[in-house]
Structures are given as C-alpha cells and as structure tokens.
Amino acid sequence: MLYVEFDDNGRCIVSRDDPDPLGLEERADYDGVVAIVRTAGPAGSPDAPDMTAVRLYTGALMAIVAGGTIAGSVLIHPALGVPAGILAALYVARRHNQTRARLEQRWSGRHRVLDTRPEVRRFRRAFDAARTILVAWPFLADLVQIPSPRAEVTAALWNIAGLLRDHADLGEQFAALNDPRFGALPAEASVRATLDDRLLRVDAGRRSLSADIDRRIETLTNLAARCASFVRAEAALNTAYEAVRRADESLRRLAPDAAFDTPDHARDLAERTAAILGAYRDLTLYRAH
C-alpha cells in the first residue's frame, strides 16, 4: 500500500505507513494507492514519528537517576554518588539519542516529504496519471494478461517522490551556493574556486535529476493516456453496437420486407378478393363466347 496525503498548504507526504489509521480524514483507495486529503491541519509531520513515548521513558529514567544520585550521596558519600549519577545520566541521554536517530532513520525510509509547491505539482501529475491507470486497468486486464499494475505503479510513485525530494534538496544547496554575501569574498580567496566548482556540480546534478523525473512522469502520463483512450474507445464501441441493435429491433418492427414483418390482414383479404373477382370475370367472359 502507498499513502499519498495532500493538504491545503501545498504540502504532500508519500508514505508506506497509514498516516491516518483511524480513518478520520477523507480518503479514496485506487487499488493500493490511497489518496488522503487532510482538511484539519497540515499533512503529517516533516519530523520523525511522535517521540512522546520516548521522551516520557527518558524522563522517567532521568528521574530514577536523579533519585539514585541523591540517595547515593546521602547514604554513601557525595564524592561517589554524584559522579555515578552523572555517568548514569550521560548513558541515558546517549541511549535516548540513539533511539531517536534510529526512529528518525526508519521514518525517513518510509516517508517522502514534499514541501515546495513546484515539486508537489510535479508529483500530482504523476499521481493523477497513476490514478487513471489504476481505475482504467480492470477494463483491459484480460487483454494485457496482467491482473493489476499495483506493484509497478506504487513503486513508480514512490521513486518519483524520492527523486523530487532529492531535487528539492539540490535546489536548496544551489541557492545556498549562490548566496549574495559570497560576493564580498576576496578575489584571491581559494574558496571562490571551490564554490564555483560545487555550484557547477550541483547545477548539473539538479538538471540531470530533473530530466530523469520528467521522463518517469512522462512514462506514467503516456500510459495513462493510452489506458483512457482504450476505455473511451471501448465505451464508444459498446454504444455503437447498442445503437445498431436498437435500430435492428426498430427495423424488424417497421420494415415491410423484414423477416419478422407484422402480418397485414387487410392486404391478404384484398389480394384474395382480387384473385376471386378476376377468376369470376374470366369465367363470365368464357361463357359469353
């Protein structure tokens, strides 16, 4: 499953984890790609997951350490209790930082945060194309012999979101390297050459990444266009067949030479009467001679 969450502030989070497990926000499931529109605040959080439990646990340990330090200082000796308390506090703080870093790394590995509107607009194009593909696929699954493109489409969106995040980061680095304050650097400063080198390398990387993103989005949009075209053609074909069928029903009811023409009893009577009268006239003429 892939969760795509947009908010009214122009932000987007693409996640492997459900950001709204209680289902409080409006959502739509497109065969594995779940769109969530958050109206009660910003989409998700750009930080690590909720660290409340970790902070509470660390605070409790610190309280225990403080109590132990006081008790050791009173019952044994301050020279022993205080250093032991300091060491214990440093150990707890280190464990807290390690846990936080591990949770942040896991969170960042399962979330793609897009903060800039240009990146969000580009991702929305990819998302709209993916949605079209997933909605149209049931109509052509038998034809292409692929039950569902869920795995391929979700992987494509996930990778595009990651590349857009990297592109935004390179954009920030490019802007930082173009800081106007660098103009005050002495002409002979060696860092000028280093700045120019990094500026060229970052710009080249950003352009290359942008081209790759555009290619990936174009692949999705082209496939979506083909899927939509197929569905429209199938709908038009079915409509045409239905129009022909109804026309044939009308012709069978109304056409004089139709195979299932309604009997015309008056015409049959007129033809039989004309035949009898003609035979009678011929017989009368024969007797007159």
Give the tens place of pLDDT for each residue, 125-137.
999 999 999 998 8
Instruction: Give the separation between CA 210 and CA 167, rounded to whole angstroms.
Output: 7
Encoded amino acid at 2, one letter: L
Encoded amino acid at 36, one letter: I
Instruction: Give the separation between CA 226 and CA 131, rounded to whole angstroms.
Output: 13
pLDDT at 239 exceeding the cut of 80: yes
Could you tell me the two tokens for 143?
């034809």
Whether residue 19 contacts residue 30, with contact meaning beta carbons closer than 8 Å, is answered with no
Q: Are strands 33-38 and 26-30 parallel, antiparallel or unpaired?
A: antiparallel
- For the chain, the structural domain boundaries read 1-45, 52-107, 117-278
Could you tell me the two tokens for 90?
């440093």
Could you tell me the two tokens for 246?
């109804």
Please report the pLDDT score of residue 286 as a whole number: 42
Please report the pLDDT score of residue 10 as a whole number: 78
Element (H, E) at 236: helix 190-254
Distance of CA 41 to the CA centre of its chain: 20
Closest CA to 136 of 251, 12, 229: 229
pTM, two decimal places: 0.66
Could you tell me the two tokens for 117?
């509107």
Q: Which of the pair, 210 or 187, is modelled with greater confidence?
A: 210
Per-residue pLDDT tens over the stretch 206-220: 999 999 999 999 999
Whether residue 14 contacts residue 4, with contact meaning beta carbons closer than 8 Å, is answered with yes
Per-residue pLDDT tens over the stretch 133-164: 999 888 888 877 888 888 889 999 999 999 99
**Region 19-46 average pLDDT:** 67
Could you tell me the two tokens for 118?
């240009």
What are the angstrom distances between the C-alpha of 50 and each of 17, 53, 56, 175?
14, 8, 11, 31
pLDDT at 103 exceeding the cut of 70: no
